[in-house]
Chain A
Amino acid sequence: MSVYDRKKEYGNSQWALVWMKLGENKFAMVSFWLIIAVILLAIFAPLIAPYPYDAQDYDNIMVQPNLQHPFGTDQFGRDILSRIIYGSRYTVIIGFGTMTGSCILGVTLGIFAAYYPKLDNPIMRFLEIFSNIPDMPLLMCLVIIMGTSLKNLLICLILYYTPGYARIARAKVLTLRNEEYVEASIALGASDGRILLHHILPNSLAPIIVRFTLSTGGSILEAAALSYIGLGIQPPEPEWGLMISQGRQFLGTYWYYSIIPGLCIVFLTYILNYVGDGLRDALDPRLNH
């Protein structure tokens, strides 16, 4: 069945086609629904978790996994499963919050840089300096200035991920502006805003979406790393990276304490990356046959 036949079946929208191609990749589809499930888990954590995340039970300290506590308890007798379920809230907020924030900020900066040549050099040079500094050192510098809290962690990560989006958006706008259909609408007297909304943004969405999906996993890893070295979410909050760090001293005897939160991070990042890879393949016009 050719692309044209498929278009007939699924309507003419490019996105319907992409959705359909993604659907052919069974595992990517499963991953996609799993991501939705994790988001729902984060939203409904209080309803799903068997215990509150901060309920201490000094009669049940460092309990091995059993029926009451499927993943055991920690050194304060808190149920690890419940803490993991609550912890998904941090991960989801950080992952998607960071990406939404940096995407909006970066794309805006990129469009400004591309549209106003006077701003181009200052914006892009500044962002280049920013992205020349490796991730952890930059985040450490930002943390020492702002201190540790969820809000500051978000701001740090948003700042860190902004240059990438700005670069994509700028490059896309610059190439698209020379496309004939854009020149045609300029010739027809369309305003900058209209061209941006109707021609440029829809056509630059593909690489931005792929980057969004792939870097969500990245930002989750960064956040976990910062929490692990003590610069991110602070105790007693149940953040996955922090839990790994707290379980470290018990690694020999209670290995599940730090290994299971780690597995959760791996799982979520894995399915995000898988969907990202699938989206990239589905959006790649070179593979369109």
Chain B
Amino acid sequence: MLRYIIKRLIYMVVTLLATVVFLFTLMEFVPGDPALVVLGEGATDENIVAIHKELKLDDPYIVRLSRYVGNLVQGDMGNSYKTRQPIAPALFARLPLTMTIAVWGIIFGTIIGLVAGVVSAVKQYSLFDRVLTAISLFGASAPSFWLAMLFVLIFTLKLGWLPATGSYTFKHWILPIATIGLQASASITRMTRSSMLEVIRQDYVRTARAKGQTQFRVVVSHGLRNAFIPILTVIGTNINGYLGGTVLVESVFAIPGLGNYVLDGVKTMDTPVVLNGVVFICFMCTIVTFLVDMAYAFIDPRIKSTYGFGTKKFKRARLAKAIEGGTAG
């Protein structure tokens, strides 16, 4: 297991580093002189030269890249062109808002999606299954910002039950979390259903029934556990999707989160803000991917064993396999 974790960690760091280099290089192609962004209208040639000197913009690409990566590792993301303020504190200040919505949304979405998907698969072709399939397809087909607006229209403007924007009390969180939760549950339901349908036809589920196990335990401890790998992948994709797509929901509910910060950067051509914001989002996504990978190994012992334990026990099992002949798959 340790070997597996280390291998995934190394992989994670390398991917992240490559992503940073890629994004930094991409930002080289942003048109226009950054000094003009910093200075705004009416910049004089003298000022431009001064800014170039101050920000070391004229250094060769490779020097700037290594300086950027070096600073980044130490937690220094540089300053915004527009505000001239450091970026890292600004990002961290906005993080809690984005995370609250994403985490709770995914938690609710996962619970709803798992339950709905399992019931749907067990009662395949029933009325419940048909209605649920239609609803989850709708959830997967609706743009999140539109869904959010629909909620605002119904629950804020028509019924007046919940606030759409403003200071962050419990009530304010409900609509953004519901939007993300509903969308996440749609795709999780769809994947749970199809994965469960495949699993409950497997022989080992029949074995569990033949033992006299209850329907519920058969479905949950034998069915769902085996069906969980693809579901986990979808949950991971969803978390990453919302960390990236949080800007849409944030813009409807006017939440000053990570997404809006990056969007403002794009609109004002504030390259460092965009670069660091995106790098930061990628960093969080990579952590999520790593955790999902760990969970795979936790759920499915076969994944662990491909990395070997090196213990006596495992070697003997392999030996037994070899002795007993080629029937092992």
Contacts and interface: CB of A to CB of B under 8 A. Distances in A.
Given A132-B282, A136-B244, A262 B143 contact: yes
17 contacts: A132-B282, A134-B244, A134-B282, A135-B244, A141-B275, A147-B31, A225-B144, A225-B248, A228-B248, A230-B267, A231-B266, A248-B149, A251-B153, A259-B150, A262-B150, A266-B138, A266-B146
Instruction: Categorize the interface residue count of chain A.
Output: 35 or more
A217 interface: yes
Nearest to A271: B141
Contacts of A206: none
Given A129-B18, A135-B245, A258-B149, 7 more contacts: A125-B18, A130-B22, A141-B26, A145-B31, A265-B142, A266-B142, A273-B140
Contact of B274 (A134, A144, A224, A248): A144
A86 interface: no
B2 interface: no
A125 B282 CA distance: 16
Interface string B188-217: 000000000000000000000000000000
Given A140-B274, A251-B157, A262-B143, A135 B241 contact: yes
A244 interface: yes
Interface string B257-278: 0010011011101010011011
Contacts of A134: 240-241, 243-245, 281-282, 285
Contact of A217 (B141, B259, B275): B141
B153 A229 contact: no
A265 B146 contact: yes
Contact of A129 (B15, B265, B278): B15
A137 interface: yes
Nearest to A133: B282
B69 interface: no
Contacts of A138: 244, 278
B23 interface: yes
B65 to A, nearest CB: 15
B267 A244 contact: no
A274 interface: yes
Q: Determine chain A's interface SS by DSSP, over half rule.
A: helix
Interface centre among A125, A136, A147, A273 (most CB of B within 10 A): A136
A138 B245 CA distance: 11
Interface string B140-172: 111111100110110001000000000000000
A209 interface: no
B256 to A, nearest CB: 15
A209 B121 CA distance: 25
B145 A225 contact: yes
B281 A137 contact: yes
B295 interface: no
Interface string B15-42: 1001100110011011100000000000
A270 B186 CA distance: 13
Contact of B152 (A125, A130, A251, A266): A251
Nearest to A272: B141
Contact of A229 (B30, B138, B263, B285): B263
B235 interface: no
A252 B18 CA distance: 47
B141 A144 contact: no
Given A125-B18, A248-B149, A273-B137, A225 B245 contact: yes
Contacts of A258: 146, 149
B226 interface: no
Contact of B142 (A231, A262, A272): A262
A269 B271 CA distance: 34
B285 A273 contact: no
Nearest to A134: B244
Contacts of B138: 266, 270
Interface in A235-289: 241, 244, 248, 251-252, 255, 258-259, 262, 265-266, 269-270, 272-274, 277
